[in-house]
Structure 1
Amino acid sequence: MWLKEMLKSKTIQLRLVQEEDAEFITELRSDEKYNTHLSKSDTSVDAQKLWIRAYKEKEQNKEQFYFIVERLDGTKCGTVRLYDFRSNSFCWGSWILNHNKTRYAALESALLVYKFGFEELEFDKCHFDVRKDNHAVNKFHEKFGARRIDQTELDYLYEIYPEDIEPMKLKCEKILGKS
């Protein structure tokens, strides 16, 4: 599958979610260690399977893409989703990495998201929001080059452009090697 090869990094890969991933996603989203800053969802596996079935239509129409983050040995360690496609911008979220993640899984998965959004889908920018009290993730995105452009009562609103991530790409190449 072309997507799997394209969305591969030094220690992780992103693959499109399948219905069989429902139990993993449900466990991940219902784990209190990881769900503090997520929007609430039905925690039943059956509800997740129904959501995935409906999502697959959106994937076929290239309206959104939901990925399982895996270590290269196939161990599932997270999720990430690209959605809310606008004329020149995409959003990403549903980003969760569990205890099975690799040391640089956050950096690698973010770079893969941007690679897919900017290079493959050819968007000009990315927009997203992060809960204000999610300090570590806000700091992560700001180090990546994201600009805080607004805020709501709960969230900071960001945008980032391809040129904003170039310094982080170079820094990651030094850490991870060129992928």
Structure 2
Amino acid sequence: MMKNFPRIETDRLILSELQEDDLPSVVDYLQHEEFSKYTSNIPFPYTKEDAEFWLKLTREAFEQRKGFTFAIREKTGNIIGAIGLHDQGSDKAELGYWMAKAFWNQGFITEAAKAVVEFGFDELKFNKIYATHFLHNPSSGKVMQKIGMELEAVLKQHLKKEGKYHDIPMYSIFKNKD
């Protein structure tokens, strides 16, 4: 079993453990209301306490081998987003991610997601990796398609946000395509 948090390097990125030092940037990045609108679990406004709680959760999840949350970094080490794989039992995991607004539409999430999916299949031995998005965030669905995920289902009225029920598309990819 891995003792240390894994580090993955891609052409343009370093994916590594989230650190205390990253939190001020995280708080700064998540001040845009879109993050709350486009995700089920990022509050708005986003506070230092939210970031500290998130860091604590990511560390506990790693210790229990239930989740791997990577800071997405430029080669300089600056955090620009985060991506995670969360064990959901039965050899499947859920993929989730966010990227700072200044870095949108540059293919960074796609690059990070490809690497994390590969890690999930090769290192963590998952059979299935899936992801969901809100219909009002089609860009997230495009990332899922670009990394080879296929639409598996639309989960009807699956998430409740601000008193409204949302239909949620679910995309998935399998270790063995057959």
Same fold (TM over 0.5): yes
Q: TM range, normalised to the smaller chain?
A: 0.7 to 0.9
Contact 1:126 1:161 in 2 (8 A): yes
Deviations, residues 44-89 of structure 1 (Å, cap 9, x unaligned): 1023213322431221111111111001111221111111432210
Task: Give the share of equivalent positions with the same residue, in percent.
Answer: 20
Which residue of 1 is the match for residue 33 of structure 2? 32
TM-score, length-scaled by structure 1 = 0.78
- Tell which deviates more after alignment, 110-119 or 27-36: 27-36
Contact 1:75 1:100 in 2 (8 A): no
Number of aligned residues = 162
Q: Equivalent residues in 2 for 1:32-111 (5 A)?
A: 32=33, 34-39=35-40, 40-41=42-43, 43-100=46-103, 103-111=106-114
> For residues 98 and 18 of structure 1, what CA distance do their matches in structure 2 show?
20
Q: Of 138, 142, 146, which aligns to 2:145?
A: 142
- Unpaired runs of 5+ in structure 2? 158-165
> For residues 31 and 128 of structure 1, what CA distance do their matches in structure 2 show?
22
Which residue of 1 is the match for residue 11 of structure 2? 10
Which residue of 1 is the match for residue 21 of structure 2? 20
TM-score, length-scaled by structure 2 = 0.78
Q: Confirm or deny that 1:129 pairs with 2:132.
A: yes
- Tell which deviates more after alignment, 135-144 or 59-68: 135-144
Moved over 4 A (4+): none
DSSP-derived class of the 2:33 partner: coil
1:97–1:121 Cα change, 3 Å: farther
Which one has the bigger helix percentage?
1
DSSP-derived class of the 2:125 partner: coil
Which one has the bigger strand percentage?
2
- Tell which deviates more after alignment, 103-112 or 8-17: 103-112
- Unpaired runs of 5+ in structure 1? 165-179
